Structures are given as structure tokens and as C-alpha cells.
Homo-oligomer: A and B are copies of this chain.
Amino acid sequence: MHNQPFTFELPKQGGIPSEYDNHLVRRLSSMRGMYRDHAAYEALLSQGDPVHYEVYEIKRPEVAGELLQGVSVIHPGKVGNEYFMTKGHFHQVLETGEVYYCLSGQGMMVMETPEGDWSVQEFCPGQVLYVLPRWAHRSVNTSLTQDLVFFFAYPGNAGHNYGTIEQQGFRKLIVESNGAPLVVDNPHWKHR
């Protein structure tokens, strides 16, 4: 870990920053239960277990005042008519935000609060997206041919709560409809 300020280069294409400490690889098999169409998921998985998304993380102390940073790459594809996406999470320290900068591809960020607000924001190269404190967030690759690549930064003490989303899902799903992304209600969403 650096004890001096440092620079690194973000990729314009391809997704790999010039420096990182951890490379997290999430395969299709780690996404069981996250997509609406379970049969389509099992059928796809039976053909292999491809890399679904990847995160390149810069290691910093996990304390307030530090900023944890990295690059995420979400590969293109669909499970049934749902686009490939990240698991999504609340921050464990709910009152922490996150800033994103889109580098390539096209996507949507699906967000919601414990209080029942939801928001879906389109996300294109050159755009900053700010996820306010309290908002769970999941990124969705709405291209079927290109990786979605973005830089992120969030407070060092934020932590991740994946459990709530694993159990209740997000209120909204992003599906392909007539060749374009469409925001629909999640029929399986339930408050737990």
C-alpha cells in the first residue's frame, strides 16, 4: 500500500487500470438467484461459467477520510431478457455515497433507499454519476456487445451489505424490450 500520494491511469478501452492491488472476478455461478428468470439462468450456466464482471481495486485503509477506488468491468450479455449486471449492495455505513465516472460502454445504475425511493440513471462515457448516501446501487450493462467500464470512489469506512439485496432484490429490473432497455417492476421484490 502506498504511503505517498500516487497516480494511475484509467483505461480508455479494455478496462484494466495501470495499477491495482486486488482483481475480483465474479463468475455467472456467483449470481444464482439474482436474475428473474431462474430457468434461463440455469440453462446459461449449464453451458459454462463465464466471467460476469471484474473489479480492479486500489487498496487503502478502510477508515473514514480515505477513498477506496477502482475500476469495474461488466461484460455484455443477458439472462433471459435481463441484461448482465452486478449483484448490487447497500453500504454497511448507510450514510456514505459513491462517485462513478463512466469510461466506456453504456449502462444504467439501478438505485433504491430503505424508505422506498428508487431511481434509474443512464450512464454513458464522460459522465459522472453520484450515488447519494442511503442508496443501494447496481450497475447494468445495457449493451449486448461492449463492456461497461467505470471508475468508482467511495469513503473508506463504507463497507458492503450484499445480504439485503440478495434477499429482497431491487424494486426495478432492466430488461431488453424491442432491442432497447426498459425499466420494469421486479415481481419478486419483497421487503424483509
Chain A residues at the B interface, C-beta cutoff of 8 Å: 2-10, 12, 17, 58, 60, 63-67, 69, 93, 95-99, 101, 109, 111, 117, 119, 121-123, 126-133, 135, 137, 151, 153-155, 158
Inter-subunit contact A153/B64 (CB<8 Å): no
A187 to chain B, nearest CB (A): 24
Inter-subunit contact B7/A99 (CB<8 Å): no
CB pairs A–B below 8 angstroms (10 shown): A2-B132, A4-B132, A5-B109, A5-B129, A6-B121, A9-B126, A10-B101, A65-B93, A67-B153, A155-B155
The answer for the CA separation of A53 and B4 in the assembled complex, in Å, is: 26
Return chain B residues, CB-CB under 8 Å to A129: 5-7
The answer for the CA separation of A154 and B99 in the assembled complex, in Å, is: 10
